[in-house]
A and B are shown apart, each in its own frame.
Chain A
Amino acid sequence: MKTIKMKDKQKGIFSIDASFAVIILLTMSFLFYVFLEAADTSFKQLNTRQKTASLLVFSNEIVRNEATVKTNTESISNKISIESLNNYISYLNQLNSSPYNFNYMEISLCYRSGSCTKLFNKSYSNQTISAERICINRFIIIEGIQDQEGIMRICID
């Protein structure tokens, strides 16, 4: 008779087992949330790295080849000819899609004297441009009567 009473008392509203189960369930849910957060951050990081790598390759194309001063035998890296740059920009203007699947592209030229010119900007999608626009500054020499140092700023989204 006594043992039955004890058992009834142990049952209660919330048993020890059930409370353990709830604690474990809550811990598991929290850990799963942490895992999802980490996965999300990791994928975002990966996406940014891929974008940065594409931007580097794209800017290299311009600064080291397409827009450079060329002789019969070589193209002088980082020395920009305005004529070649304009030719490349008109080629970019003709394209309906961006070379590296960018949503947006912008090329500006800043002289050491301080003057800056935006030479090209084009959006390739109807989406609004996100805040995660990535830019790179390439130190260059701009060919002219007197070669001037400057920066080519290339931004993508």
Chain B
Amino acid sequence: MENRKNMKGIVFTLEAMVVFSFFMIILFSTLLLINQPEPPIPLYETVMLNDIYQVLELNYHTDLSQFCITGIVSPELKEYLDYVERESGYSVFFSFNGVNYNLENCNKIISQNRLLVYLDISSDASSNPDVSYFHELKIGLCKKHN
């Protein structure tokens, strides 16, 4: 009887510990549940990249095809890409068969593989020319260069 009396009080009781542990578990699990994870795909940037590519397809299709064939970006296309960078705060990069534009020091945010259709006749040493229409161009956004 005296032993029981001694166990009471002084240090926090077992019941209180159990209640407190329950409280902590519920609180932390709710905290974990309400913390919303970042969306896996940046929505705004994806829409922006789609818009940019659509404008490029409408106004700079030949320049894009030229880039894929020769690896050179025309001054008109470069001017437009500079305008995009000024207005959006993001710079655009291209990559096709190992030829890159603006990919050096790129802090990549998002990239997509887009279908670019143009007629490409690559002639080899043999007599059969290789004709292809569908090409995969990688395009993406980087954070603006300082």
Q: How far is the CB of A146 from chain B (nearest CB, A)?
A: 11
* Chain B positions 1-56 with a Cβ under 8 Å from a chain A Cβ: 9-12, 16, 20, 23-24, 27, 30-31, 34-36, 39, 43-44, 47-48, 51-52, 54-55
**Contacting pair A76 B35 (CB below 8 A):** no
How many residue pairs link A and B with beta carbons under 8 A? The number is 73
Q: Which of A83-91, A123-131, A136-144 contacts B (4 or more CB under 8 A)?
A: A136-144
**Contacting pair B36 A52 (CB below 8 A):** no
Interface residues of B (CB under 8 A from A): 9-12, 16, 20, 23-24, 27, 30-31, 34-36, 39, 43-44, 47-48, 51-52, 54-55, 58-59, 80, 83-84, 87-88
CA distance A45 to B23 in the complex (A): 26
Given A38-B31, A42-B34, check contact A138 B83 (CB 8 Å): no
CA distance A45 to B109 in the complex (A): 21
**Contacting pair B51 A139 (CB below 8 A):** yes
Query: Interface range on chain A: under 10, 10 to 19, 20 to 34, or 35 or more?
Result: 35 or more
Q: How far is the CB of B17 from chain A (nearest CB, A)?
A: 10
Q: 1/0 contact trace for A57-94 toward B, CB 8 Å?
A: 00010010000000000001111000000000000000
Q: How far is the CB of A87 from chain B (nearest CB, A)?
A: 22
A107 on the B face (CB < 8 A): no
**Contacting pair B54 A77 (CB below 8 A):** yes
